[in-house]
């Protein structure tokens, strides 16, 4: 049943009854605040009118598109001090969508056929959205959400309703059926505490932005009615993917205590920043960072990091209207390598397709996650792949801290073809008088078939990295962003941890190192498990480093091995979670358990 604030007021009017609604966890953390709903421009309720003056309607539409682009540029500027470049690039994606030839040409064609601008825009947006929504894949649904948001931007200006600055409560929880980047940017950063959405997924642009801002967010709240929510108290639990509307006074006290203890813990975790990730018996494990776009924002903090475990080149491609040139890519990669010199930098070649479509290259597939993505796409487009490989070889010259990894490897022949292209790129550069250095090569293990090709792959590559996000989805046949099956996605499923154990054993048998760069690496409990399995390095978002480091520094390597051995004997996810959580509790790390007790520890030992 959909619920609104009026339901709670009617239930006695004393706000003692708490209603819990579950959705999708899109950004971790706990926020307590007051709901501020956003009323979007409604594309679905535009009345039919004929255009009295078609030229005037077309001009009005063009002006609205221009104003929408200006609005997004202003929003990008406001957020420039709060977001890294790769997330700011999302604004550029929206601006590119506003420049979309298909959207503009179809709307103008409808205007010229006699519709007024608002109706023409509404029909064009509906038609584009329908194309995506026919495909039952939540990643594609996220693109439909983006198209609707772009349409709402234009419509608000057609209706002469530029977004108002508004007044916001101190702890603003922004709520909407769908939210846009501009709507979130309009709330002053010091007032925005959390985000809740009836629609949306962890892959949506809003979720990416929330994670970058460090703001708890829960989406996919399909049981949430947007009526009568304004002014309601709410707790947003981004760890568990739940919201608590009108929590009782006693619940509020507990959540406030958790919030304060979490903030205090974060401050104390800073004390670990200069210490190594070393077990109590002296075993060190490198903790690397996952990044995208460029190194400019990391120049100050780069010395704190042990290197880059995953640099996602697709963000640079996605943020542009055209393919980047070889020189543009060279400058980007060279700057990144120099910033971290002499530490290793693992750069993943273009991983487009599925949820990461190139704005200048249309791919329409019924099931994109099992389709034309990663290495399959780049091998089919050697002109794109060779340009990137040439830029990487040039950037590595004289530095030699580059390692290149290839995504979505499913068969040995893909590596063979890739190695041939690298040799071709190198020979071309030598013939042209360029300087270049070949890097170490690696393969992502995220497709189950690659697990059983490790021996053959080891003859061709220098290292492996496990992408646990895709590996879990492919192994369990579960899309983690589909709310209908969200409960089935669990990277602590016994099958997943057995496969990871198998990967490590097979790689080490071939004397190859193996790291983990998926979300498991940044989860303290999972990191303990991976440490015990013998993983050689962990790579994660910078915000997860301190918690994982604290975990590693609280156990011996032998303790971690015993725990991972026990986990391999457990038959269900719940048992594995309990095992790992109990280990954290016994080590005094209960505060690191998602949804666990808020016990404030002393880290100064």
Cβ atoms of 85 and 336 within 8 Å: the answer is no
Same domain, 129 and 194: no
In a domain, 577, yes or no: no
What number is the average pLDDT over the span 453-477? Answer: 95
In a domain, 586, yes or no: no
> Is residue 471 one of the residues assigned to a domain?
yes
Number of domains in the chain: 3
Domain shared by 478 and 544, yes or no: yes
Show contacts of 76-84: CB within 8 Å, 24+ apart.
Answer: 76/185, 78/185, 79/185, 79/189, 82/189, 82/212, 82/213, 83/209, 83/212, 83/213, 84/212, 84/291, 84/293, 84/297
Q: Note whether 179 and 211 are same-domain residues.
A: yes
Domain that holds residue 74: 53-158
In this predicted structure, the answer to whether residue 456 has a pLDDT above a threshold of 70 is yes
DSSP class per residue in 531-587? HHHT-SEEEE-GGGHHHHHHHHTTS-HHHHHHHHHHHTT--SHHHHHHHHHHHHHHT
341, 367: one domain: yes
- DSSP-derived secondary structure for 274-300: TS--B-TTS-B--EEEEEES-SGGGTT
Would the pLDDT of 280 be above 80?
Answer: yes
For residue 508, indicate whether it is catalytic.
no
Region 577-602: what's the mean pLDDT?
A: 73
Q: What is the pLDDT of residue 597?
A: 42
Average pLDDT over residues 218-236: 84
501-554 confidence digits (pLDDT tens): 999 999 999 999 999 998 899 999 999 999 999 999 999 888 788 889 999 999
Residue 20 maps to which CATH number? 3.50.30.10
Question: What per-residue confidence (pLDDT) applies to 47?
Answer: 66
SS3 51: coil
Structure tokens at 546: 């301190």
Give domain status of residue 174, yes or no.
yes
pLDDT in tens, 397-407: 999 999 999 99
Tell me which residue has tokens 């007044």. 167
Determine contact, residues 576/492, Cβ cutoff 8 Å.
yes
User: In this predicted model, what pLDDT tens digit does every residue of 363-394 receive, in sequence order?
Assistant: 554 455 555 578 998 999 999 999 999 999 99
3-state secondary structure 376-432: HHHHHCHHHHHHHHHHHHHHHCCCCCEEEEECCCCCHHHHHHHHHHHHHHHHHHHHC
pLDDT score recorded for residue 595: 47
Is-contact 580 520, C-beta < 8 A?
Answer: no
Residue 438's domain is classified under what CATH number? 3.20.20.60
Report yes or no on 497 lying in a domain: yes
CA–CA distance, 135 with 365 (Å, rounded to integer): 8
Q: What is the mean pLDDT of residues 482-489?
A: 69
My answer on whether 347 and 430 are in the same domain is: yes
Residue where the block lists tokens 């958790």: 258
- What are the counts of helices (DSSP H) followed by strands (DSSP E) for the chain? 22, 16
* Alpha carbon distance 461, 443 (integer Å): 7
Name the average pLDDT for the chain: 83
- Annotated catalytic residue within 153, 157, 205, 501: 205
User: Is the same domain home to 434 and 501?
Assistant: yes
Q: Which of 266, 293, 322 is the endpoint of a domain? A: 266
419 and 517 housed in the same domain: yes
Two structure tokens written together for 31: 């926020």
Given 266, 289, 307, the domain boundary residue is: 266
If pLDDT is split at 50, 70 and 90, which confidence band does 419 have?
very high
81 and 108 assigned to the same domain: yes
205 is catalytic: yes
Residue with tokens 């669990």: 490
Please report, for the domain that includes residue 89, its CATH number.
Answer: 1.10.274.10
What span, in angstroms and rounded, lies between the C-alpha atoms of 392 and 334?
A: 8
Beta carbons within 8 Å of 347's beta carbon, 6+ residues apart: 308, 311, 313, 333, 336, 392, 402, 403, 404, 405
Q: Does one domain contain both 285 and 379?
A: yes
Task: Give the list of residues 6+ apart from residue 330 with CB closer than 8 angstroms, or none.
Answer: 391, 394, 395
In a domain, 385, yes or no: yes
Q: Count Cβ atoms within 10 A of the Cβ of residue 68 and give its class: 0-12 exposed, 13-18 middle, 19 or more buried.
A: buried
Tell me: pLDDT of 426 over 70.
yes
Residues 281 and 316 in one domain: yes
In the predicted structure, residue 2 carries a pLDDT above the cut 50? no
The confidence score (pLDDT) of residue 358 equals 56
- Of 132, 158, 184, which residue constitutes the final position of a domain? 158
> 136 pLDDT exceeds 50?
no
- 5, 197, 258, 517: which one is catalytic? 517
**Does residue 152 lie in a domain region?**
yes
Q: What is the pTM of this model?
A: 0.69
pLDDT digits (tens, 9 = 90+) for 138-185: 445 556 777 887 887 788 788 764 444 457 888 999 998 888 888 888
User: What are the structure tokens assigned to 383, written together?
Assistant: 């002109």
Say yes or no: 210 and 91 in one domain.
no
Tell me if 533 is assigned to some domain. yes
Give the Cβ contact number of residue 242 at 10 Å.
17
Q: For residues 21 and 102, state if they share a domain.
A: no
């Amino acid at each position: 049943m959909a619920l609104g604030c009026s339901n709670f007021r009617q239930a006695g009017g004393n706000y003692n009854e708490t209603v819990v609604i579950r959705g999708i966890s899109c950004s971790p953390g706990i926020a307590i605040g007051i709901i501020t709903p956003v009323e979007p421009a409604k594309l679905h309720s535009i009345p039919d009118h004929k255009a009295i003056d078609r030229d005037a309607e077309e001009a009005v539409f063009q002006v609205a598109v221009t104003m929408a682009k200006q609005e997004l540029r202003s929003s990008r500027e406001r957020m420039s001090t709060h977001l890294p470049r790769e997330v700011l690039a999302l604004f550029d994606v929206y601006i590119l969508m506003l420049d979309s030839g298909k959207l503009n040409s179809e709307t103008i064609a409808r205007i010229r056929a006699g519709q007024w601008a608002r109706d023409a825009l509404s029909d064009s947006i509906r038609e584009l959205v329908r194309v995506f929504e026919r495909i039952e894949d939540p990643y594609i649904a996220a693109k439909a959400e983006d198209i609707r948001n772009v349409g709402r931007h234009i419509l608000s200006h057609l209706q002469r309703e530029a977004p108002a600055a508004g007044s916001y409560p101190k702890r603003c929880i922004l709520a909407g059926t769908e939210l846009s980047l501009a709507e979130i940017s309009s709330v002053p950063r010091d007032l925005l505490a959390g985000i809740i959405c009836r629609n949306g997924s962890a892959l949506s642009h809003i979720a990416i932005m929330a994670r970058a801002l460090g703001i708890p967010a829960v989406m996919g709240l399909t049981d949430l009615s947007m009526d009568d929510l304004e002014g309601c108290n709410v707790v947003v639990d981004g760890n568990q993917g739940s919201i608590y509307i009108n929590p009782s006074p006693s619940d509020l006290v507990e959540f406030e205590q958790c919030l304060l203890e979490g903030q205090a813990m974060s401050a104390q975790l800073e004390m670990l920043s200069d210490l190594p990730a070393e077990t109590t018996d002296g075993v060190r494990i490198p903790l690397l960072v996952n990044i995208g776009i460029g190194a400019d924002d990391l120049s100050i903090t780069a010395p704190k990091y042990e290197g880059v475990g995953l640099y996602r080149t697709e963000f640079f491609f996605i943020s542009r209207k055209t393919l980047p040139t070889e020189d543009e890519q060279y400058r980007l990669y060279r700057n990144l390598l120099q910033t971290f010199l002499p530490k290793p930098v693992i750069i993943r070649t273009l991983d487009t397709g599925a949820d990461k479509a190139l704005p200048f290259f249309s791919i329409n597939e019924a099931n994109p996650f099992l389709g034309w993505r990663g290495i399959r796409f780049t091998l089919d487009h050697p002109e794109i792949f060779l340009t990137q490989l040439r830029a990487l070889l040039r950037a590595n010259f004289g530095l030699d801290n580059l390692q290149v990894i290839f995504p979505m490897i499913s068969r040995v022949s893909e590596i063979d073809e890739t190695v041939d292209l690298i040799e071709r790129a190198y020979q071309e550069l030598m013939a042209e008088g360029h300087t270049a250095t070949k890097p170490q090569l690696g393969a992502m293990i995220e497709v189950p078939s690659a697990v059983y090709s490790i021996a053959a792959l080891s003859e061709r590559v220098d290292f492996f990295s496990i992408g646990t996000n895709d590996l879990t989805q492919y192994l369990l046949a579960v899309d983690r962003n589909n709310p209908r099956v969200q409960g089935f996605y669990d990277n602590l499923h016994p099958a997943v941890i057995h496969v990871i154990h198998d990967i490590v054993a097979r790689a080490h048998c071939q004397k190859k190192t193996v790291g983990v760069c998926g979300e498991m690496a940044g989860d303290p409990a999972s990191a303990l498990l991976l440490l015990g399995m013998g993983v050689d390095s962990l790579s994660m978002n910078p915000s997860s480093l301190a918690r994982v480091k604290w975990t590693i520094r609280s156990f011996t390597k032998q303790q971690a091995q015993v725990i991972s051995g026990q986990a391999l004997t457990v038959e269900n996810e719940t048992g594995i979670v309990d095992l790992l959580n109990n280990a954290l509790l016994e080590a005094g790390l209960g505060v690191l358990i998602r949804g666990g007790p808020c016990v404030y520890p002393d880290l100064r030992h």
